[in-house]
Structure 1
């Protein structure tokens, strides 16, 4: 399997694990993999009560790689804010509770269950 397909499969698996975690803690998934032209993609759009949650998912295999939570740089956070604005515009306006940007890191150990870390309000 080529590395792009393997990376895509890893990312899709991580997003599935992340979506399950978010629903387990009471969020309602509205959309997955929402694309906006050349601006990019929102991995998961959800509602947490009255708050719209734009969620970035980062999945990594265990090893000497950067921790998934280190992946949201200031530039990435700015892009996520812009995508959130575009999603709101395309879907009829801001929710009463405002918008929050969350990050879900999924770390896949060599053996055992994925380790999932959900950080609220990263940007």
Structure 2
């Protein structure tokens, strides 16, 4: 389910004219789902996928602790890549899967 949600989110970003730089970047502290370029902004994207909204919107699963970890991981990625970004943004994409459709909710700068 998570891989499907990431595929949907990646396609959504590319349709929105973003360039994917990395998927599932890992280090010992954790993982970044998607890293994209939106103009001169480097965008780190946390993807949350759910079947329906019985447990709330997918983006609600990003806790304060998770947000803190995402910021640390983004800083590490930028440092390791020696990237000098004009802007850095942390987004959340929620993918809600129903019987035959996947709905995307994109929260820019949510973290």
TM-score (norm. length: structure 2): 0.95
Higher strand share: 2
1:115 and 2:103 are equivalent in the alignment: yes
Aligned partners of 2:20, 2:83: CA distance in 1, in Å? Answer: 18
Query: Hey, which bits of structure 1, 4+ residues long, moved more than 3 A?
Result: none
Q: Give the secondary structure class of the aligned counterpart of 1:32.
A: strand
Aligned partners of 1:32, 1:14: CA distance in 2, in Å? Answer: 12
1:19 and 2:10 are equivalent in the alignment: yes
Note the residue ranges of structure 2 that are not aligned, 5 or more in a row: none
Alignment-derived partner of residue 85 in structure 1:
75
Structural mapping, 1:66-105, within 5 Å: 66-95=56-85, 97-105=86-94
Q: Given that residues 78 and 84 in structure 2 are in contact (C-alpha distance below 8 angstroms), is that contact kept between their aligned partners in structure 1?
A: yes
Q: Give the secondary structure class of the aligned counterpart of 2:23.
A: strand
> Which is higher, the Rg of structure 1 or of structure 2?
1
Aligned partners of 2:69, 2:43: CA distance in 1, in Å? Answer: 15
Note the residue ranges of structure 1 that are not aligned, 5 or more in a row: 1-9
Residue by residue over 1:72-107, the C-alpha shift from the partner in whole angstroms, topping out at 9 and shown as x without a partner, is 111111111000000001101331x22100000000
Note the C-alpha offset of 1:67.
1.6
Cα RMSD between the aligned structures? Answer: 1.0
Q: Give the secondary structure class of the aligned counterpart of 2:105.
A: strand
1:106 and 2:104 are equivalent in the alignment: no
Aligned residues between the structures: 111
